[in-house]
């Protein structure tokens, strides 16, 4: 029987790469995104290429509770839910200069939206002893001067995910946070790194596939994926 995965932010970047990878493996998908044209075109492409079932949910992650009935209905039609991947996220520069509105948006999208979507999906994930993957950032493990607001939201996401993992430990649900460095997506392009110096989105897909192959005896709370080029630069500065 085909596995069922729900991916937020599935129309671009990491979310799109993960959706493509899972489709290739034969998983049926529920794709959540706010850009209807992009996500519908993407879904049509995957359906034609892999002959899988795909449901699309058009919503802003900040208002995901308004789509809770639609999400629950899609999960029911798919026959359950095995994997939830939180990839929806935004980025703003700034630490002391980050505006209140930007800080609020960072937390609403990167933290609150993920928490609310988890609540919607949790009964079905628990029923299938499934897995929840949060896409955070290395800035959720270590602060960096130019990105304090973003880092704060990612620290919060890591804290929430770790707490959720402990809360669900007896249920069979596995919770892992992936904390990548700069990824070769539209969000990562302004870093100034060459394409081959950034983490390939496929590396994220490979990591998620790796998690799915582990036995239930294994608990992995977070995985950090760092850029070799950045690590080398940090060594030189030391």
Tens-digit pLDDT profile for the chain (238 aa)? Answer: 799 999 999 999 999 999 999 999 999 999 999 999 999 999 999 999 999 999 999 999 999 999 999 999 999 999 999 999 999 999 999 999 999 999 999 999 999 999 999 999 999 999 999 999 999 999 999 998 899 999 999 999 999 999 999 999 999 999 999 999 989 887 777 777 787 888 999 999 999 999 999 998 999 999 999 888 777 666 555 5
What pLDDT is attached to residue 237?
56
Strand partners, 33: 58
Phi, psi torsion values for 83, nearest 5 degrees: -145, 130
Structure tokens at 104: 């609020």
CA-based R_g, the chain, Å:
17
Side-chain half-sphere exposure of 169, counting CA atoms within 13 A: 9
Side-chain half-sphere exposure of 199, counting CA atoms within 13 A: 26
Of 131, 90, 81, the closest CA to residue 112 belongs to: 90
pTM to 2 decimals?
A: 0.94
pLDDT tens across 30-53, in order?
999 999 999 999 999 999 999 999
Domains by residue range for the chain, with CATH = 4-237 (3.40.50.720)
What pLDDT is attached to residue 233?
61
Q: Answer whether 35's CB lies under 8 Å from 11's CB.
A: yes
How far apart (Å, rounded) are the C-alpha atoms in residues 201 and 180?
A: 10
pLDDT tens across 47-94, in order?
999 999 999 999 999 999 999 999 999 999 999 999 999 999 999 999
């Amino acid at each position: 029987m085909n596995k069922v995965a729900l991916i937020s932010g599935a129309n671009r970047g990491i979310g799109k790469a993960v959706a493509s990878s899972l489709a290739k493996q034969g998983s049926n998908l529920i794709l959540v995104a706010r850009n209807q044209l992009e996500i519908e075109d993407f879904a049509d492409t995957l359906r034609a290429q892999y002959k899988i079932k795909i449901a699309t949910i058009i919503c802003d992650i900040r208002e995901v509770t308004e789509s809770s009935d639609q999400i629950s209905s899609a999960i029911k039609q798919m026959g359950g839910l095995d994997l939830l991947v939180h990839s929806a996220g935004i980025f703003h520069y700034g630490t002391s200069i980050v505006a209140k509105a930007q800080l609020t948006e960072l937390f609403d999208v990167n933290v609150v939206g993920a928490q609310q979507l988890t609540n919607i999906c949790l009964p079905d994930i628990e029923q299938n002893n499934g897995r929840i993957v949060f896409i955070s950032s290395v800035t959720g493990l270590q602060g960096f001067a130019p990105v304090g607001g973003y880092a704060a939201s990612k620290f919060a996401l890591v804290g929430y995910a770790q707490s959720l993992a402990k809360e669900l430990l007896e249920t069979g649900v596995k919770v892992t946070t992936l904390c990548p460095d700069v990824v070769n997506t539209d969000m990562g392009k302004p870093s100034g790194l060459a394409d081959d110096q950034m983490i390939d989105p496929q590396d994220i897909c490979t990591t998620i596939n790796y998690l799915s192959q582990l036995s239930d005896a294994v608990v992995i709370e977070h995985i950090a994926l760092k850029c070799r080029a950045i690590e080398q630069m940090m060594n030189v500065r030391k």
